Amino acid sequence: MNSISIVGRLTRDPETKYVGEDKLPTCRFALAVRRPSKGSDGFDADFIEVIAWRKQAELCGQYLSKGKMAGVTGRLQTGVFEDSQGQKHKFAQVLAERVDFLSPRDKNGETAEIQEDDIPF
């Protein structure tokens, strides 16, 4: 079984593109996902690449932005690519099956900022 669920804050604005002859929407973004560590504040972060497709990609591009919270459920994909100097690099990314927008909205319908103390982990 290949299933992964992560919750984190976007590290950059999502990049939406339309690929192939069918112009399928795809959206790429990265989440900073907190984890316990022995550091000074007791936490560290992993930066996880996420790819969404089709309608989910369009919604991510429209409603997500740097700093907002999101939850992603999908599958983990790994691979190797070769750069222009011939060096091989490993990568891991999550192919999103579901993306939940977790930043709350204020009374005007705008996304409100979440404070670190509001995060339940």
Mean pLDDT of 7-21: 94
Domain assignment present for residue 119? The answer is no
CATH code of the domain containing 19: 2.40.50.140
Domain assignment present for residue 49? The answer is yes
Domain assignment present for residue 110? The answer is no
| Dihedral sign (CA 37, 76, 68, 20) | positive
| Domain count of the fold of the chain | 1
| pLDDT tens digits along 21-64 | 889 999 999 999 998 888 777 888 999 999 999 999 999 999 99
* Domain membership of residue 48 as a residue range: 4-103
The pTM (predicted TM-score) of the whole model is 0.79
pLDDT(114) > 50: no
Domain assignment present for residue 95? The answer is yes
The pairing of strands 24-36 and 4-10 is: antiparallel
